[in-house]
């Protein structure tokens, strides 16, 4: 038995352990509440960053184009589907047959050397079957503000009734007058021996 008021190492150690145990218990309880808050905040920030990264940016793809190629006037409209890099398009052949072509592609942003790459497919018209397409676009703002270049290739199996498979190479230089309007000059070659077609275009970005 210990007298009251007499210092006891065992009692003091037990009291200290009890205090530490309560402090640890309170800390664990607090951490149980803090950790979910930190986790939710982190996930929300990550989701927000992912959404911002997925949003289309840089070169404009939501646009309408009127082109003059040879004796034909062509019209094309393309637009991203929602807040994604999936690009839908609608174009007319411009030869008076009333046929239109639908397209669906995916834009890979900044794949190399600040260049966007679009891979897609288009439906056929009266003169050609469905085609697989590849288009590369790059801003040349380091040369002239508003200037950009694009090259493309499309391949259609058994295009037309007698022409067989057909690959078309295109190249274009465009200038953005402002954020809404741009003009472009391009060339189109169906094959190395064919005469190239000059293409003049006016675009409206929206």
73-82: pLDDT as tens digits: 999 999 999 9
| 21 and 118 belong to one structural domain | no
Residue 43 and residue 7 in one domain: yes
Higher-pLDDT residue of 105, 57? 105
Q: Are 88 and 17 part of one and the same domain? A: no
Residue 66 has pLDDT above 70, yes or no: yes
68-77, 94-103, 109-118: range with lowest mean pLDDT: 94-103
Give residue-wise pLDDT tens across range 137-172.
999 999 999 999 999 999 987 655 555 567 889 999
55's CB contacts (< 8 A; 6+ apart) are 83
Q: Report how many domains make up the chain.
A: 2
Segments forming the whole domain that contains residue 34: 1-54
Same domain? 46 vs 78: no
pTM, to two decimals: 0.68
* Spatial distance between the Cα atoms of 87 and 85, rounded to a whole number of angstroms: 6
């Amino acid at each position: 038995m210990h007298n009251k008021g007499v210092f006891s190492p065992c009692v003091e150690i037990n009291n200290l352990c009890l205090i530490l145990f309560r402090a640890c218990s309170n800390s664990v309880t607090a951490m149980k509440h803090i950790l979910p808050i930190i986790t939710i905040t982190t996930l929300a920030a990550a989701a927000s960053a992912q959404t911002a990264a997925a949003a289309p940016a840089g070169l404009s793809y939501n646009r309408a184009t009127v082109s003059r190629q040879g004796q034909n006037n062509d019209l094309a409209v393309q637009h991203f589907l929602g807040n994604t890099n999936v690009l839908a398009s609608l174009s007319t052949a411009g030869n008076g047959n009333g046929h239109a072509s639908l397209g669906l592609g995916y834009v890979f942003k900044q794949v190399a050397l600040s260049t966007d790459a679009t891979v897609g497919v288009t439906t056929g018209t009266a003169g050609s079957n469905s085609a697989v397409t590849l288009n590369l676009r790059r801003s040349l703002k380091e040369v002239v503000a508003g200037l950009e270049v694009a090259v493309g290739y499309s391949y259609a199996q058994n295009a037309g009734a007698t022409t067989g498979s057909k690959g078309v190479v295109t190249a274009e230089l465009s200038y953005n007058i402002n954020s809404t309007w741009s003009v472009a000059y391009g060339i189109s070659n169906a094959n190395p021996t064919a005469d190239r077609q000059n293409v003049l275009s006016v675009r409206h970005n929206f």
